[in-house]
Structure 1
Amino acid sequence: MIADKLMQVEARLQQASQTSHRSRDEIALLAVSKTQPAERLRAAFDAGQHRFGENYLQEALDKQRALADLAIEWHFIGPIQSNKTRPLAESFQWIHSVDRLKIARRLSEQRPAEQPPINICLQVNIDAEPSKAGVDVAALPELAHAVAALPNLRLRGLMAIPAPRTDPTAQRQAFARVRALLEQLNREGLALDTLSMGMSGDLAAAVAEGATIVRVGTDIFGARAQSTMNGGQTGNS
């Protein structure tokens, strides 16, 4: 069933790419696997999905141990506690949810010397929602330039979870604002290439506005089981 669902998501991505006059190769599919047991990730891997995004640190570390025989690219997309940055720095290739310089500095300091730099996306609170994580738009440039200067990190781009919208035009407008922020940072001298945005319900709009990573969970794994983890952040699938 997971293989069939992956095929359906791939068909949506192909259609969205074609409609937007983009190459499908420009867009990575990140399977959001929070609360999913390791065997379901293994089934997805066997079906060709090799990028997985996790929200809860301990759950992710458990899965990494269970799936250590697989060449998985691990992305962390959940909220980051400053006292838990070391295992993030040691165990993930990508971290999408950095929104404070303190967190970035700790990740840089704690990244093992023998590992390549961590790929970093800054999470932007594009709709200024009080309940949602992310750096304010006004504070983004200062944070971006500071993070880009840190060793052991590679600032790749921006991640955003806009407020839910059902109208495709409204969806695109929100994603266009994220894209404009990235373009502005590049005009200021940064070399960013990643827009992590778009989920199951707004994938096509995100692709139309330049998404390079789309985060899909429900349409691959089905409805999530209730997690017992604390501090979770919704809206990543």
Structure 2
Amino acid sequence: MTQAPHHSSSNALIERHTAVKERLDAINDTYQANPKAVLLAVSKTKPSSDIATLYQAGQGDFGENYLQEALIKINELAHLPITWHYIGHIQRNKTKDIATHFDWVQTVERAIIAQRLSDQRPDDRPPLNVLIQINIDDEASKSGCHIDELDGLVQAVMGLPKLTLRGLMIIPSKDGTDAFVRTKAIFDDIKGRFDLPDFDTLSMGMSGDMEQAVAHGSTMVRVGTAIFGERDYG
């Protein structure tokens, strides 16, 4: 009897996810990372059914870039205790929905955005976990806080009651190794100078540079295509 097509695709999805997990486990073992790097599955443009399949296979953290698309999926999967990460650019008019529906926001780059996220976080939800996105290579085309603005932004986030500053996030230019080294040094410097008991997350590295990222201190790698397959932007 022929299997229905979606079964084979869900099998392929689980196989790809397992392969990425095994690769990350091996990398974690090699570099004795402590804490071990966590896998964030980047599910933008992919259906809720794929996310549900991976959740059942043990994947708990999912990253979304596009707010309207993410809100539909969060609603459809509300019965599952998924940890949702917002990893897209934050426009001022989107902060209320982000503050209401996500568990983590990895792309805080300005104090006004942090302020709005804190003000708009519902009282019945725990503080929002946030990462400051640094524009580590000072690229005009990239989002992120500039390094000379970082201390001010750290202090701003520390003063906001509904946010917990968990760490830093970068999207480096093509060859990331130097950026990983610099970001880890910045991370350690901030941790040493500020009283941040929950500052434990360094989100850097994707499928192509996962090993270099973990070797240089990443605690969270963001992997999309290697798990979900090619994206359809049609």
Same fold (TM over 0.5): yes
Alignment correspondent of 1:209: 216
The letter of the residue matching 1:82 is: R
Alignment correspondent of 1:234: none
Alignment correspondent of 1:33: 43
Alignment correspondent of 2:30: 19
Residues in 2 aligned to 1:194 and 1:27: alpha-carbon distance in whole angstroms: 9
Residues in 1 aligned to 2:115 and 2:19: alpha-carbon distance in whole angstroms: 40
Residue-by-residue CA offset, 1:17-42 (whole Å, 9 max, x unaligned): 1221225x622110000000111111
Residue of structure 2 aligned with 1:51, choices 50, 61, 84: 61
The letter of the residue matching 2:50 is: R
Q: CA deviation at 1:186?
A: 1.4
Q: Secondary structure at the match of 1:89?
A: helix
The letter of the residue matching 1:184 is: D
Residues in 1 aligned to 2:202 and 2:37: alpha-carbon distance in whole angstroms: 10
Residue-by-residue CA offset, 1:56-100 (whole Å, 9 max, x unaligned): 000000001111111110000000010110011110000000000
Q: Is 1:163 the counterpart of 2:170 in the alignment?
A: no
Alignment correspondent of 2:75: 65
Q: Secondary structure at the match of 1:186?
A: helix
- In the TM superposition, what are the counterparts of 1:1-237 in structure 2 within 5 Å? 1-23=12-34, 26-165=36-175, 171-191=176-196, 192-226=199-233
Q: Secondary structure at the match of 1:78?
A: coil
Q: CA deviation at 1:173?
A: 2.0
Q: Secondary structure at the match of 1:52?
A: strand
Q: Secondary structure at the match of 1:71?
A: coil
The letter of the residue matching 1:42 is: A
Coordinate RMSD, CA, aligned = 1.1
Residues in 2 aligned to 1:172 and 1:164: alpha-carbon distance in whole angstroms: 9
Q: Secondary structure at the match of 1:159?
A: strand
Q: CA deviation at 1:190?
A: 3.5
The list of structure 1 runs, each at least 4 consecutive aligned residues, that deviate by more than 2 angstroms after superposition, is: none
Q: CA deviation at 1:222?
A: 0.8
The letter of the residue matching 2:102 is: F
The letter of the residue matching 1:121 is: L
Residues in 2 aligned to 1:22 and 1:115: alpha-carbon distance in whole angstroms: 31
Residues in 2 aligned to 1:114 and 1:18: alpha-carbon distance in whole angstroms: 39
Q: Secondary structure at the match of 1:26?
A: coil
Gaps of 5+ in 2: 1-11
- State the identity %: 48
Contact 1:28-1:214 at 8 Å conserved across structures:
yes
Contact 1:172-1:208 at 8 Å conserved across structures:
no
